[in-house]
């Protein structure tokens, strides 16, 4: 959906902005919000389509490779050692332990940009009811096939080929999920503002959003693109576009402007020799961020943050 010039000109219309945001926060349908946004009343979106077709084409070519642990996605397999406990421990610290042995039982988790389900499956094994979504049909097919081999996951992990904006259009999904994970996804998204807005729309009040991504630094360019892609071939060439990387500060600002409150940001480092990840003090390259929906209109949030 395209935004008209009129729409861009109306970005500063505070009164309309309030109408749109309050409609969203009061639980009216995302379609209604989207219609208002498309009339030029949106807060901050530029395209309302989070998908970059070039990214889809690139991941389509890799869709059969997700479960090759020594292949293109080896670093994502290894990242589970950090990100699964990160999600689990933060969920438990907010919501408390409910079932020993299945610590995430009764939580509904949305894995946005799930690819082949590398993160969906371990979260399902921890007891969560997981829905993985991805715009690449073939990746969803791979995820479904792989999960179908594990009888323990058949009832708890499911997948859908769609985008977050499509998912959030369905009334049934509004305020539905206890948590959302978007791991190594936001650096592939065309419109991050809309992406975050839609995440908030399907999250329960007080729900958690976990993002892992890549910082926009000289070091991330050198290691993430030149070394990892061009010299060592750990990741296929062209996987990342440095322009789409985002610093923790910019990401925090975007999240807070969408009514989230940042709980924690950490640094992560990948060792290409050992193939393992470790926590780091520096967020100069990779970092996870844990935020919670603070149930406030963005304006109210900024007021409460100031006071």
CB 102 within 8 A of CB 126: yes
In angstroms, what is the minimal distance from the CB of 136 to ligand SAM?
4
Question: Judged by CB, which is closer to ligand SAM: 167, or 291?
Answer: 167
Question: Judged by CB, which is closer to ligand SAM: 129, or 184?
Answer: 184
Residue 12 labeled ligand binder = no
In angstroms, what is the minimal distance from the CB of 85 to ligand SAM?
15
Report the C-alpha gap between 270 and 253 in whole angstroms. Answer: 26
Q: Which of 164, 161, 151 is nearest to 115 (CA)?
A: 161
In angstroms, what is the minimal distance from the CB of 186 to ligand SAM?
9
Report the C-alpha gap between 183 and 242 in whole angstroms. Answer: 17
Question: Judged by CB, which is closer to ligand SAM: 75, or 267?
Answer: 75
Q: Tell me which residues touch ligand SAM (CB under 6 A).
A: 50-51, 55, 59, 76, 112-115, 118-119, 134-136, 139, 163-164, 183-185, 188-189
Cα 109 to chain center, whole Å? 11
Residue 115 labeled ligand binder = no
Question: Judged by CB, which is closer to ligand SAM: 119, or 284?
Answer: 119
In angstroms, what is the minimal distance from the CB of 189 to ligand SAM?
4
Question: Judged by CB, which is closer to ligand SAM: 163, or 220?
Answer: 163
Helix (H, G, I), strand (E, B) or coil at 215: coil
Residue 134 labeled ligand binder = yes
CB 195 within 8 A of CB 202: no
In angstroms, what is the minimal distance from the CB of 104 to ligand SAM?
17
Question: Judged by CB, which is closer to ligand SAM: 236, or 295?
Answer: 236
Q: Cα dist. 121→117, 161, 186 in Å?
A: 6, 16, 20
Report the C-alpha gap between 132 and 274 in whole angstroms. Answer: 29
In angstroms, what is the minimal distance from the CB of 63 to ligand SAM?
8
Range list of H helices, 170-263: 192-202, 218-219, 248-257
Q: Which of 74, 65, 71, 13 is nearest to 44 (CA)?
A: 13
The closest residue (CB) to ligand SAM is 113
Question: Judged by CB, which is closer to ligand SAM: 91, or 186?
Answer: 186
Q: Which of 245, 203, 199, 207 is nearest to 224 (CA)?
A: 245
Residue 83 labeled ligand binder = yes
In angstroms, what is the minimal distance from the CB of 87 to ligand SAM?
12
Q: At how many degrees (to 10) do helices 248-257 and 298-306 cross?
A: 120
**82-95 core/surface letters (b: 16 or more CB in 10 A; e: else):** bbbebbbebbeeeb
Task: Give the residue numbers of the binding site for Mg(2+).
Answer: 184, 187-188
Task: Give the residue numbers of the binding site for S-adenosyl-L-methionine.
Answer: 83, 113, 134, 183
Task: Give the residue numbers of the binding site.
Answer: 83, 113, 134, 183-184, 187-188
């Amino acid at each position: 959906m395209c935004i008209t010039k009129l729409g861009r000109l109306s970005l500063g219309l505070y009164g309309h902005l309030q109408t749109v945001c309050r409609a969203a926060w009061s639980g009216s349908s995302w379609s209604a919000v989207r219609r208002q946004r498309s009339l030029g009343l949106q807060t901050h979106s530029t395209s309302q389509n989070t998908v970059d077709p070039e990214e889809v084409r690139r991941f389509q070519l890799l869709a059969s490779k997700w479960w090759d642990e020594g292949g293109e996605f080896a670093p994502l397999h290894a990242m589970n050692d950090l990100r699964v406990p990160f999600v689990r421990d933060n969920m438990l610290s907010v919501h408390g332990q409910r079932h020993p042995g299945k610590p995430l039982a009764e939580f509904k988790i949305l894995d946005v940009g799930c690819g082949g389900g590398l993160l969906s499956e371990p979260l399902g094994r921890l007891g969560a009811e997981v829905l993985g979504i991805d715009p690449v049909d073939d990746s969803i097919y791979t995820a479904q096939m792989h999960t179908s081999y594990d009888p323990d996951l058949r009832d708890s992990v499911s997948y859908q080929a769609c985008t977050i904006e499509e998912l959030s259009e369905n009334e049934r999904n509004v305020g539905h999920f206890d948590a959302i994970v978007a791991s190594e996804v936001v650096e592939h998204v065309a419109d991050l503002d809309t992406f975050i807005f839609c995440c908030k729309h399907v999250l329960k009040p007080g729900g958690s959003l976990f993002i892992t991504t890549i910082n926009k630094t000289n070091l991330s360019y050198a290691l993430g693109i030149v070394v990892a892609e061009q010299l060592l071939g750990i990741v296929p060439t062209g996987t990342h576009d440095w322009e789409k990387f985002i610093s923790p500060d910019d990401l925090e600002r975007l999240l807070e402007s969408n009514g989230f409150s940042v709980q924690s940001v950490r640094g992560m480092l990948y060792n290409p020799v050992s193939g393992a990840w470790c926590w780091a003090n520096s967020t100069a390259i990779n970092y996870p961020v844990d935020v919670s929906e603070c149930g406030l209109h963005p304006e109210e949030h900024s007021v409460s943050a100031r006071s």
